[in-house]
Structure 1
Amino acid sequence: MPDRLSALDVSFLYLEEPTTPMHVGSVGVFETPESGFGFDDLVDVVRERLAYVPRYRQRVRWVPGNLAHPVWVDDEDFDLTYHVRRSAVPRPGTPDQLRELVARIMSRPLDRSRPLWEMYLVEGLEGGRFALLSKTHQAMVDGISTVDIGQVVLDTTPHRPEAPADTWTPSAEPSSIELLAGALVDVVRRPGDLLESAQRTLTDLPRAAARAVRLLGGAAGGVATAMRTAARPAPTSPLNVSIGAQRRFASVDTSLDDYRAVRRRRGVAINDVVLATIAGALRSWLFTRGVRVVSTTTVRALVPMSVLTDDSSRSHVAEYILDLPVGEANPAMRLQQVAYATKAHREASHAVRARALAGMAGFAPPTLHALGARVASSLSRRVFNLVVTNVPGPQTTLYVAGAPMVASYPVVPLAKGQALAIGLTSYKGKVCFGLNADRDAMPDLNVLAQCIPDALTELVEAVEQMPTRPDRRARKAH
């Protein structure tokens, strides 16, 4: 029988609305190699790598009467050139033109009658560069049986490895009678699935808060703090408004050395420095909007974090809710407050070290950002104001068909009623931010984007004037 979607997988299909398409994206910018790179090269690479991700040649087939969750069936009419597409920006091919194209492409929902992914070759960028934009539905990427397509096309050397033999032959699609029979068998074998589905449709704030607390770890202090945070509705914020179908996208490059310098001087995690920087940027942005900011003002972020299981054999992505102290005027004090809030969670949940995380098979940045988005979408939007996904990437060059990648920006989808999602990836000495926002609610997205490097500079200058604090987190690299 075909694979059946899990309750979590299918929830992203049920939750999808015209204003909240449930796909995650990744934008990679590449230098064109001397041998050149064109559309045919991309099609060849994707065709070779599909053997690693068979789900990308399958589509969703619903069970008559919704008696059970839908199943994945092979697309007998699979058309690779439908999914791999070619686009271009007009001269001069500026970063702003690329961002506008990304926003328009990510605004469009995927065709549910086909496999739920697309990849675009964007030509015409300044300096002879090109970009690859991948777009994958959250129902597809679970990090175990399926990873993001943007991950599998990348190589660690400029030489393409030998492609595996493609022996794929589509299986015949089951009939409606076969689907019903399979559904009845599954109900008998796993009657709890029906209850699970019903419970998911009735998820509300208390259940979402309880789930977040349960996954935050076993430390008494950490759980108590999480319970107090998650049990309260998210603070009122201009980030939480009715949103439309259209998006804006902004990207920001910052230096990883700046985050490392703050980490060394203050003995904190790089993730703490990132979150403190975002808090400072949000503070400045709120002032530009004329929003009243007092010392107690916070913005609540959902920060998906990779944690080890109890036996440390594998990792999963769990929820972590953090009130960013945007009301604190002192950048060093903001960092201290963030570090204090995150310490108990890291210790209780066995957070995966960045160096180990970046090297784990199946957990490259595009896949982890997709998993983080899944976590965000599964929680009530009343619990948090925005999502922040931070995924450490490799510090060595990655390639597609010999073309070196120079930057990578995640595109995290928006939840209903949330105007902004922030994703960031460290790669080759840079920390690359991708800001996905509602087009109408965030006309000043570029202002917020500029506030990020300004807030980082402010933080670096503040800690340089302070005595160095020993790094008590030697066990952590990130």
Structure 2
Amino acid sequence: MVNRLSPRDAMFYFLDETGATTHLGVLLIIDPHAAAADEEQPSDSDTPTTPATLDYPRLVALVENRLQLAPNYRKVVREVTLGLARPVWVDDPDFDINFHIRRSGLPRPGDIGQLQDLIARVMSRPLDRTRPLWEMYLIEGLPDGKLAILTKTHRCLVDGAGALEISEVICDESPEQPVLDEDLWMPGSPPGAASLAFGALAEAMSRPGDLIESVLRGNSIVSELRSGMEGAVRRFGDVVQQITDSAPASPLNNATTSTRIFAVATVPRRGCAKIAERYDCTLNDVELAIVSGVLRRWMLSVHEYVQADDTVRVVLPLSARDPAVERRIDAEGRWVSVGKPSFVTDLPVGEDNPTVRLAQVAGLANRYAQSSRRLSMGPRPWFPELGVVPFPELSSRTFRNLNRRNYNVPIAMGTLPVAPRFIAGNPVTELYAIPTLMAQRALAISVVDYRDELQFAFIADRGVLPDLPAMTDYVLESFEELSVIK
């Protein structure tokens, strides 16, 4: 029985192109000295602990032990001849974990700017499609003896229900590191091209029922095709409906190159919660107001002035307005947020007064979260009912063109705070999600609520936003102007 990619996974696999690849990432900052200090404190736990050290061999051993929780991380994607079926996951017969886990170091002085430059270079490179579609970097040379772990994972590995990103696999909820049973993995024999093609044909021909009876009962390939076409027409209608209410023209929708730029910033959660309480809104409203202030400052740095009615259209998870949506999907906060219900709203970047801007952000988000016209279908395949993928490049290009003007900027944010995490007993002090930067998008933003900090990450097309590092200052300025009591 072949392990075939789901329709959505296959769509993300085929959406890769020279200018934009559909991978995402996670940046974890680790402080071994904090772990050493904790070890000096007496523990009431009867669970034996191991020395909290982290180096390349230990990281490799940890990942090797945990890969049994994410079996597709040892598989490669094999396409089927002539697109007779969706691609399949097959064991990588030459799997080499040392290819996927790499060691890197920052030159002195090892500041945050150098770390952001390194991450930008790593995220600019496409993943090797002849190998499992992920990478991990242990980065040394940070100030105060800290370490960083950067992961890069293709969307097709994490989009399905229950699929974990590799950073989630290696993180623990306590310093006590659980060790799984030894995983004696041996790759299976990969099927040949002819075998995959004949298997696809046999799979299509083995549908239950006699051909005439299937036609009469509506279970035949013809009926399936008709159902697929009807579904595609409905999806096309949804896209057209969104395009007729398209996002404002913006350089943020310029064609994407392959070169990335990356920046991070943090603000205190407690301060944002006080702002939310003062103005009777939610924490997510404050996060969006901060982003609005950031984008307003960026627009003023590009243009001499901003019109009072200027807006930037963003797409964000529906759980940002309805926390119950998040709790129905995930019992606890996660930092990799993909494939969730979303909606489109406008950020009033033309408004000069920050408190008025916050009120408008909250009002627009509340209104549009309840509007079927503003619900985002997100990236979806045109024919999920069919197993055949006859023209993947053409359909992917069509999807990108139709999806171009739905919104300007995607924002990934959760409703639930992420509990403290540890890697090999070492506390993760900072955690940043690096969102996917798809074609026709020049900027993507994420916000993670972690350790009493709201941690913002920005990834952008270097050709469109070469001044992205300035957004670090813009985040702090936007937070500070909201903190001032009017």
- Using the size of structure 2 for normalisation, the TM-score is 0.79
Contact 1:55–1:146 (CA under 8 A) maintained in structure 2:
no
- Percent of counterpart pairs with the same letter? 36
Question: Number of residues paired by the alignment?
Answer: 418
- Residue in structure 2 matching 1:432, options 446, 449, 455: 455
Mapped to 1, the partners of 2:134 and 2:230 lie a distance apart of 29
Contact 2:74–2:95 (CA under 8 A) maintained in structure 1:
yes
Structure-2 residue corresponding to 1:257: 270
- The reply to whether residue 235 of structure 1 matches residue 252 of structure 2 is no
Mapped to 2, the partners of 1:152 and 1:24 lie a distance apart of 15
* Cα deviation code 1:31-84 (max 9, x no counterpart): 024443210111011011101110111110111111111011111221111111
Contact 1:234–1:385 (CA under 8 A) maintained in structure 2:
yes
* 1:234 counterpart letter in structure 2: A
- Residue in structure 1 matching 2:201, options 174, 184, 205: 184
SS at the partner of 2:65? helix
Mapped to 2, the partners of 1:146 and 1:450 lie a distance apart of 35
Question: Offset at 1:443?
Answer: 1.4
Mapped to 1, the partners of 2:304 and 2:232 lie a distance apart of 36
- The reply to whether residue 274 of structure 1 matches residue 287 of structure 2 is yes
Q: How does 1:75-154 map to 2 (within 5 A)?
A: 75-154=92-171
| Distance 1:149-1:199 versus aligned 2 partners, 3 A rule | farther
SS at the partner of 2:277? helix
Question: Offset at 1:168?
Answer: 2.8
| Distance 1:183-1:125 versus aligned 2 partners, 3 A rule | same
Mapped to 2, the partners of 1:258 and 1:109 lie a distance apart of 39
Mapped to 2, the partners of 1:276 and 1:195 lie a distance apart of 46
Structure-2 residue corresponding to 1:371: none
* Cα deviation code 1:220-266 (max 9, x no counterpart): xxxxxxx6xx6322101222222321111001011111210112122
Structure-2 residue corresponding to 1:208: 239
Question: Offset at 1:157?
Answer: 1.1
Mapped to 2, the partners of 1:237 and 1:344 lie a distance apart of 24
Mapped to 1, the partners of 2:191 and 2:450 lie a distance apart of 44
Question: Offset at 1:305?
Answer: 3.3
Mapped to 1, the partners of 2:353 and 2:254 lie a distance apart of 29
Structure-1 residue corresponding to 2:317: 304
* Cα deviation code 1:109-160 (max 9, x no counterpart): 0011111001100011011001000000001112424210011100111121
- Residue in structure 1 matching 2:83, options 66, 72, 84: 66
Question: Offset at 1:272?
Answer: 1.0
Structure-2 residue corresponding to 1:384: 407
Contact 2:104–2:137 (CA under 8 A) maintained in structure 1:
yes
Structure-1 residue corresponding to 2:25: 25
- Using the size of structure 1 for normalisation, the TM-score is 0.81
| Distance 1:414-1:234 versus aligned 2 partners, 3 A rule | same
Contact 1:205–1:380 (CA under 8 A) maintained in structure 2:
no
SS at the partner of 1:179? helix
SS at the partner of 2:253? coil
Mapped to 2, the partners of 1:106 and 1:79 lie a distance apart of 21
- The gaps in structure 1 that reach 5 residues or longer are 211-226, 350-375, 466-478
* Cα deviation code 1:424-445 (max 9, x no counterpart): 1010010111100111211111
- The reply to whether residue 455 of structure 1 matches residue 482 of structure 2 is no
- Residue in structure 2 matching 1:399, options 406, 422, 430: 422
Contact 1:7–1:197 (CA under 8 A) maintained in structure 2:
no
* 1:268 counterpart letter in structure 2: C
Question: Offset at 1:291?
Answer: 4.8
Contact 1:205–1:383 (CA under 8 A) maintained in structure 2:
no
Mapped to 1, the partners of 2:276 and 2:289 lie a distance apart of 12
Question: Offset at 1:267?
Answer: 2.1
Question: Offset at 1:396?
Answer: 4.2
Question: Offset at 1:313?
Answer: 5.6
SS at the partner of 1:93? coil
Structure-1 residue corresponding to 2:335: none
| Distance 1:381-1:427 versus aligned 2 partners, 3 A rule | same
- The reply to whether residue 49 of structure 1 matches residue 66 of structure 2 is yes
| Distance 1:411-1:395 versus aligned 2 partners, 3 A rule | closer
SS at the partner of 1:453? helix
Contact 1:83–1:119 (CA under 8 A) maintained in structure 2:
yes
Question: Offset at 1:171?
Answer: 2.2
* Cα deviation code 1:135-193 (max 9, x no counterpart): 00001112424210011100111121121331433222123333123312443449488
Mapped to 2, the partners of 1:94 and 1:330 lie a distance apart of 34
Q: How does 1:313-462 map to 2 (within 5 A)?
A: 314=329, 317-344=340-367, 380-392=403-415, 394=417, 396-461=419-484
Mapped to 2, the partners of 1:401 and 1:187 lie a distance apart of 47
Mapped to 2, the partners of 1:31 and 1:320 lie a distance apart of 37
Contact 2:8–2:159 (CA under 8 A) maintained in structure 1:
no
SS at the partner of 1:157? coil
* 1:12 counterpart letter in structure 2: F
Question: Offset at 1:423?
Answer: 0.9
* RMSD (Å), alpha carbons: 2.8
Contact 1:206–1:231 (CA under 8 A) maintained in structure 2:
no
Mapped to 2, the partners of 1:238 and 1:169 lie a distance apart of 49
My pick for the range that moved more, 315-324 or 90-99, is 315-324
Mapped to 2, the partners of 1:284 and 1:134 lie a distance apart of 30
- The gaps in structure 2 that reach 5 residues or longer are 37-51, 208-219, 331-338, 373-398
